[in-house]
């Protein structure tokens, strides 16, 4: 058997974390659950972003964050996830590649926009997260290369891929043939 091309390939939601400091009063005014995580729609994402103060944007999502940690320890990693052809999609692609992770999923044109998690951080460090899954839910089967996936030592599938009603590539593909991990 040949040497694996990657130590870990992850398939997950490509999300940009948008973090901003705030006080408890803003959490209450916006009707958020302090310390919670809520899935939101496009309108909610726009409303909450408008209420945020100056923010930091960095690529995120469970699978991408896991790969960032592994890559920082020297693992050879690749990520498959969907972004939109927009500013946050470019931020995600830049950040994950700058972390030494192979990412070549083409950006999706049009709507919905790139996924984002709007994170309000209070002075005591409590994070209140509001996640808009956006384009990350629409990963087409055509971006999955069976040979590349099979060439990894480990395939990491992000659990959140199974939540949306819309079928994404990871849920709609037929079973792998015998011998393919």
| Predicted confidence (pLDDT) per residue in 75-116, tens digit | 999 999 999 999 999 999 999 999 999 999 999 999 999 999
> Binning pLDDT at 50, 70 and 90, where does residue 148 land?
confident
Specify the pLDDT at position 162.
Answer: 58
Mean pLDDT of 113-141: 95
Percent of the chain with pLDDT over 70: 87
User: What is the chain's mean pLDDT, rounded?
Assistant: 88
Query: How deeply is 57 buried, as exposed, middle or buried, from its count of CB atoms within 10 A (0-12, 13-18, 19+)?
Result: middle
Q: Is the pLDDT of residue 172 over 80?
A: no
Cα 32 to Cα 43: distance, rounded to the nearest angstrom: 15
Residue 151: name the closest of 130, 123, 180, 175 by CA. Answer: 180
Cα 21 to Cα 121: distance, rounded to the nearest angstrom: 5
> What helix, strand, coil percent values describe the chain, rounded to 5?
35, 25, 40
Percent of the chain with pLDDT over 90: 75
> Binning pLDDT at 50, 70 and 90, where does residue 160 land?
low
Cα 149 to Cα 143: distance, rounded to the nearest angstrom: 11
Specify the pLDDT at position 82.
Answer: 96
> pLDDT tens digit string along 35-89?
999 999 999 999 999 999 999 999 989 999 999 999 999 999 999 999 999 999 9
Domain spanning 6-158, CATH class: alpha beta
> What is the distance of C-alpha 130 from the center of its chain?
13
DSSP string covering 73-116: TT--EEEE---BSSHHHHHHHHHHHHTTEEE-PPPBPSSSPPEE
Q: Is the pLDDT of residue 163 over 60?
A: no
């Amino acid at each position: 058997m040949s040497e694996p091309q990657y130590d870990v390939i992850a398939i997950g939601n490509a999300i940009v974390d948008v973090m901003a400091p705030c006080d408890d009063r803003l959490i209450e005014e916006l009707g958020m659950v302090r310390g919670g995580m809520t899935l939101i729609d496009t309108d909610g994402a726009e409303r909450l972003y408008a209420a945020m103060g100056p923010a930091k944007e960095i690529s995120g999502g469970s699978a991408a964050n896991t790969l960032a940690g592994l890559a920082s320890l020297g693992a050879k990693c690749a990520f498959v996830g969907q972004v939109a052809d927009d500013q946050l999609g470019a931020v995600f692609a830049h950040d994950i590649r700058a972390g030494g992770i192979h990412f070549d999923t083409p950006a999706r044109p049009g709507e919905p926009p790139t996924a984002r998690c709007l994170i309000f951080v209070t002075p005591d460090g409590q994070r209140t997260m509001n996640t808009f899954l956006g384009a990350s839910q629409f990963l087409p089967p055509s971006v999955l290369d069976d040979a590349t996936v099979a060439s990894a030592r480990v395939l990491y599938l992000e659990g959140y891929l199974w939540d949306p009603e819309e079928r994404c590539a990871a849920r709609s593909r037929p079973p792998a043939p015998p011998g393919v991990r």
